[in-house]
Amino acid sequence: MNALNKTILACMLALTCHGAAYAILPIEQLDGYKGAKGFLVQTKALPMVDIEVSIDAGDRYDPADKSGLADMTAALMNYGVRGDQGYLNEAQIADEIADLGANIGLSVGGERAILRIRSLSRKDLRERAVKLASAMLSAPSYDVKIVDREKQRTIANLLEAETKPEYVLERSFTKSVYGNYPLANSPSTKSVASLNTTDLLQFHKQFYRSERMIVSIVGDVDRAEANEIMQALLQKIPQSGPVIPSLPELQRSPIEPLAQREQQIPFDSQQAHIAMGMTAVTRNNPDYFPLLVGNYVLGGGGFVSRLMSEVREKRGLAYSVFSYFAPGKDTGIFQAGLQTKGDQASLALEVMSSTIAKFIADGPTPAELLAAKSNLVNGYPLRIDNNRKLLDNVSSIAWNNLPLDTMEIWTKQVEAVTLEQVTAAFQKYLAMDRMRIVVLGAQNK
pLDDT exceeds cutoff 90 at 10: no
Tell me the pLDDT tens digit for each residue of 402-440. Answer: 999 999 999 999 999 999 999 999 999 999 999 999 999
Which pLDDT score is estimated for 11? 45
pLDDT category of residue 8 using cuts at 50, 70 and 90? very low
Q: Are residues 129 and 180 in the same domain?
A: yes
224, with CB counted inside 10 A (0-12, 13-18, 19+), is exposed
Tell me the C-alpha distance between 54 and 50, whole Å: 13
Domain boundary among 173, 202, 234: 234
* Strand boundaries in 145-234, DSSP class E: 213-219
Q: Are residues 282 and 214 in the same domain?
A: no
Task: Show the DSSP H helices in 18-122 as ranges.
Answer: 69-75, 90-100
Tell me the C-alpha distance between 83 and 74, whole Å: 17
Q: Are residues 214 and 338 in the same domain?
A: no
List, as one string, the DSSP characters of 343-364. GGHHHHHHHHHHHHHHHHHH--
Give yes or no for a contact between 247 and 426, defined as CB atoms under 8 angstroms apart.
no
List, as one string, the DSSP characters of 160-187. HHTTSHHHHHHHHHHHHHHTTSGGG---
- H/E stretch holding 326: strand 321-327
**Domain assignment of residue 87, yes or no:** yes
Distance of CA 133 to the CA centre of its chain: 22
Q: Are residues 218 and 83 in the same domain?
A: yes
**Domain assignment of residue 309, yes or no:** yes
Q: Are residues 375 and 279 in the same domain?
A: yes
Give yes or no for a contact between 197 and 144, defined as CB atoms under 8 angstroms apart.
yes
Tell me the C-alpha distance between 133 and 181, whole Å: 32
Query: Cβ neighbours of residue 166 under 8 Å, at least 6 residues apart?
Result: 273
Distance of CA 239 to the CA centre of its chain: 26
Tell me the pLDDT tens digit for each residue of 262-308. Answer: 999 999 988 999 999 999 999 999 999 999 999 999 999 999 999 99
Tell me the C-alpha distance between 80 and 144, whole Å: 11
**CATH number of the domain that residue 168 is part of:** 3.30.830.10
What is the average per-residue pLDDT within 362-368?
97
Q: Are residues 46 and 175 in the same domain?
A: yes
Q: Are residues 213 and 285 in the same domain?
A: no
**Domain assignment of residue 281, yes or no:** yes
Tell me the C-alpha distance between 233 and 129, whole Å: 10
Between the CA of residue 169 and those of 153, 186, 266, 354, 441, what are the distances in Å? 22, 12, 11, 22, 9
Tell me the pLDDT tens digit for each residue of 42-51. Answer: 999 899 999 9
Q: What proportion of the chain, given as a percentage, has pLDDT over 70? A: 92
pLDDT category of residue 254 using cuts at 50, 70 and 90? low
Q: Are residues 414 and 288 in the same domain?
A: yes
Give the residue among 411, 397, 174, 422 at the shortest CA–CA distance from 295: 422
Query: Cβ neighbours of residue 19 under 8 Å, at least 6 residues apart?
Result: 411
Measured in residues, the chain has a length of 445
Which pLDDT score is estimated for 21? 45
Give the residue among 147, 154, 170 at the shortest CA–CA distance from 77: 147
What is the average per-residue pLDDT within 208-237?
97
pLDDT category of residue 243 using cuts at 50, 70 and 90? confident
Which pLDDT score is estimated for 12? 42
- Strand, helix or coil for residue 51: strand
Tell me the C-alpha distance between 306 and 367, whole Å: 13
Give the residue among 6, 10, 28 at the shortest CA–CA distance from 217: 28
**Domain assignment of residue 21, yes or no:** no
Q: What is the CA radius of gyration of the chain?
A: 24
- Strand, helix or coil for residue 275: strand
Beta-ladder partners of 262: 437
What is the average per-residue pLDDT within 21-27?
78
pLDDT exceeds cutoff 60 at 5: no
Supply the range of the domain harboring residue 431: 252-444
Which pLDDT score is estimated for 367? 97
pLDDT category of residue 19 using cuts at 50, 70 and 90? very low
Number of domains in the chain: 2
Which pLDDT score is estimated for 445? 42
Average pLDDT in the chain: 92
Tell me the C-alpha distance between 117 and 133, whole Å: 8
**Domain assignment of residue 244, yes or no:** no
Which pLDDT score is estimated for 255? 61
Q: Are residues 129 and 212 in the same domain?
A: yes
> How large is the angle between the packed helices 406-415 and 288-295, nearest 10 degrees?
60
CA dihedral 399, 404, 406, 408 (to 10 degrees): 150
Q: Are residues 271 and 222 in the same domain?
A: no
Which pLDDT score is estimated for 226? 98
